[in-house]
Chains A and B, each alone.
Chain A
């Protein structure tokens, strides 16, 4: 068990590698109740998120649709990354990281009154992520008969409330952090242990933070605090795709700073690395390129590829796809290659 943002969390329940393979090949369940669910309500809630986050909630038109985004400070640094769900024009739900909960809430509470938005932290909800090619089928088997077809029909990055009877409600979303299909379920905390045990009995393997990290890294998904933070902006953290400049009238926090950075010319870029020598890449190791030094932001051993992989921030002019770089691993320079992310998606290795 480790302390994770104030929560006691298992790194692994048994073998971390077996947990990882279960998710890639079958189904695994993660307790992600440490993540902070916040409901935002008010007639101007869309406008509030238009100001608050770097991606554009105007992309959200169908109820239940989710959007991944960064929440930036005025300097363009990342306060946190989050997922926001559009439920109706006066009700959005947002899920933020555990370790950033306090500062996120403080930041949001400073801005919300200007838009008449009420924020409610949903400490009553637990959250589990059930992930893997067989994950959805297993979850759907727990739902009341009359709601199974609509749960089955949920498109990727959509969520919906499902009535479980006796006034109980689950919010089921086709989202995740593994690169596999699956659901994330927000449900009353008191129901979570029983659901966990039922899914275990259906063959869904308990998986810990360790497997969560190797899975997300194979899927080349960023981890807040490692791959981006309040100093590193999203444009140099592989997250330019989540920043929407399309609507010139939308003055999101951090926009001016990012536009100034773009005008001045970005200095760094974010790349995926595959280690060609034997060893294991880890965060903070130095990357040596002809254009100067960079740094690994996240590195691990990929259980699916049985090779070491990493995300790294390097000088802008260095390291196109296919280029060789070197990484200082415990005093030795090992050879690595810049590859196209992600490494693994839907059970398949995408990098050779």
Chain B
């Protein structure tokens, strides 16, 4: 069973969302997603200032096996991309919910349609 901390929100496309003290959100991919992708070797993170709609591709993560898009869970403006992933894409494998964060976003409205940890686990179980 993959790890999905209870204090985060999730999407069906395997992103996680953490609301920070200043109201911005940190976004990454879940433990399940990194495990399915395998060893990550390249991550393209978004630049600060980029405006995103919910569902837009904001990053590309590539493992040895395949390239995969990462989707914005909510609309907003990119505050920061995680520059550390340039040299250490494997942070997403080793600590998907900490050092493996991909961007910080300033949301333009209330996030909608996100899943709780329990709902995400149920979604994973249903996906098989």
Contact = CB atoms under 8 A, between A and B. Distances in A.
B60 interface: yes
A330 B38 CA distance: 20
A301 B67 contact: no
B64 A16 contact: yes
Interface of B: 38-39, 41-42, 44, 60, 62, 64-65, 67, 86
Given A15-B39, A210-B38, A330-B60, A280 B65 contact: no
A301 B60 contact: no
A304 interface: no
A214 B86 CA distance: 21
Contacts of A308: 42
Contacts of B39: 15-17
Interface in A207-222: 210, 214
Contacts, number: 36
A12 B38 contact: yes
A137 interface: no
A282 to B, nearest CB: 7
Given A301-B41, A301-B64, A308-B42, 12 more contacts: A11-B38, A12-B38, A15-B38, A16-B65, A17-B39, A17-B41, A17-B64, A210-B65, A279-B44, A280-B42, A280-B62, A280-B67
Interface of A: 11-12, 15-17, 210, 214, 278-280, 282, 300-301, 303, 308, 330
A278 B42 CA distance: 8
Contact of B64 (A278, A303, A330): A303
A330 B42 contact: no
Contacts of A280: 41-42, 62, 67
A301 B42 contact: yes
Contact of B67 (A12, A16, A282, A303): A282
Q: Which of B38, B67, B86 has the most CB of A within 10 A?
A: B38
A184 B44 CA distance: 40
Contacts of B42: 278-280, 301, 308
Contacts of B64: 16-17, 210, 214, 300-301, 303
A15 B6 CA distance: 27
14 contacts: A11-B38, A11-B65, A15-B39, A16-B38, A16-B65, A17-B41, A17-B64, A210-B65, A278-B86, A279-B42, A280-B41, A280-B67, A303-B41, A330-B60
A330 B86 CA distance: 18
A330 B67 contact: yes
A192 B46 CA distance: 49
A279 B41 CA distance: 9
A300 B38 CA distance: 14
A278 B67 CA distance: 13
Contacts of A214: 64
Contacts of B65: 11, 16, 210
Contacts of A15: 38-39
A11 B67 CA distance: 16
Contacts of A303: 41, 64
Contacts of B41: 17, 280, 301, 303
Nearest to A17: B39
Nearest to B43: A278
Contacts of A278: 42, 86
A303 B63 CA distance: 11
A301 B38 contact: no
A244 B27 CA distance: 57
Contacts of B62: 279-280, 301
Contacts of B86: 278
Contacts of B44: 279
A282 B60 CA distance: 14
B58 to A, nearest CB: 14
A255 to B, nearest CB: 39
A168 B119 CA distance: 55
- 3 residue pairs, one from A and one from B, having the closest CB atoms: A301-B41, A17-B39, A280-B62
A71 to B, nearest CB: 29
A282 B62 CA distance: 11
B12 to A, nearest CB: 23
Task: Pick the most buried of B38, B39, B42: most chain A CB atoms within 10 A of its CB.
Answer: B39
Nearest to B62: A280
Nearest to B93: A15
Contacts of A330: 60, 67
